[in-house]
Amino acid sequence: MKLHSRSIAVTVGLAAGMMASSLSAQQAPARRDFEKEITAALASAKTAAQFDFLGTLVRTCLVPQSEGENTTDVPYPYVTDPSKAPSRASWYTEPAKVFDNLYFVGGKVHSAWAMTTKEGIILFDTIYPYNSEELIIGGMKKMGLDPANIKYLMISHAHGDHIGGAEMLQQRYAKFGMRTVMTDPDWTLVEKYPNRYKSMAPKRDITATDGMKITLGESTITLTHTPGHTPGTLSYTFQVFDKGRPVNVAYSGGTAFNFNNRTPDPGIKNFQIYLDSQKKFAEVAAASGATVLLSNHSEFDIADSKNKMFASRGNGPHPYEQGAEAVQRYFKVMQGCARASQLKLEQRQAEGK
């Protein structure tokens, strides 16, 4: 009996296989429905954003991305002619104490953060040459912090809106022991374009590597290499305290897509590098127990608006603390929007455009 049923099964299986092969021989290969895939990627980003990451959704899914990485060595107009700097009203905002040991010392759009420890201060990102003096140095002083106590200057990536104040800070505070930390690809970028980085470029100092830990006093910063936005973009995980309670933070170092320039590459490949970095840092953030997502742009973490909530917080929840699930949703927004853009390039490639 057993033998008999097995032979029936073999016969049925063979027949099904023959039918499938004759069907596929008759049909033309199915055309990929790129529109459907793009819509699905955008929908996944929208679902993940909820109300927490609308700025991120708009900026990465909706607003057209810049065409490509700057490869010129021309100084920025606001460096050669200070009158070309944006008006103060467009960037000025007040500093804020965000956690027991973390201060916001950035502007309305671009952020800088000062972490205090028993052995000095760690500063994350330095905004522009034209506003770093007022916002970072002025902001720290307003918060009762002495910039001469900065021991580490962490640059997430070498773009003018984050490295802009680094040269000035290094010139003033390296003599008090301040070290500057950036990845090799971004140090190389700075050295390759001396005119573009005029008035911004710190001298090469500590070369950051993936997984490196930097400890100052009681605080340890874990560095994660998240290439994509620039080849050397760094993201960070660390712990802060809210009224004495430890809170874990994931700081995303580079967000916008600036490699949407041609098909097939570097666009498609760079989007893959970017996507892989988002997945990787999402895992690092989850493993670290991050319940707060910080960025170096206010549009991604809504820092400037959240800072204004502290005045009426009382015993209410911390405005920045969204929970581990929300932090993971941030990375899903990034991945959905990046995948949609990558699919558009794949579609152009498939259509031979």
- What 3-state DSSP class applies to 216? strand
Q: Name the closest residue to Zn ion (Cβ).
A: 159
Let me know: does 298 contact 108? Beta carbons within 8 Å: yes
Query: Using CB under 5 A, which residues numbered 153 to 192 contact Zn ion?
Result: 159
Pick 132 or 219: Cβ nearer Zn ion: 132
Pick 162 or 344: Cβ nearer Zn ion: 162
Tell me the site size for Zn ion, rule CB under 5 A. Answer: 1
Let me know: does 242 contact 46? Beta carbons within 8 Å: no
Provide, rounded to whole angstroms, the least separation between the CB of residue 353 and Zn ion.
28
Provide, rounded to whole angstroms, the least separation between the CB of residue 157 and Zn ion.
6
Compute the distance between CA of residue 267 and CA of residue 222 in angstroms, rounded to an integer: 29
Provide, rounded to whole angstroms, the least separation between the CB of residue 270 and Zn ion.
14
Q: Where are the alpha helices (DSSP H) in 174-295?
A: 184-192, 267-288
The number of residues making up the chain comes to 353
Compute the distance between CA of residue 127 and CA of residue 135 in angstroms, rounded to an integer: 9
Pick 161 or 346: Cβ nearer Zn ion: 161
Pick 38 or 334: Cβ nearer Zn ion: 334
Pick 230 or 291: Cβ nearer Zn ion: 230
Q: How far is CA 342 from the centre of its chain?
A: 18
Site membership for Zn ion, residue 297 (CB under 5 A): no
Q: Which stretch binds Zn ion (CB under 5 A): 63-71, 151-159, 241-249, 338-346?
A: 151-159
Q: What are the beta bridge partners of residue 222?
A: 213, 237
Compute the distance between CA of residue 24 and CA of residue 22 in angstroms, rounded to an integer: 6
Interface contacts to Zn ion, rule CB under 5 A: 159
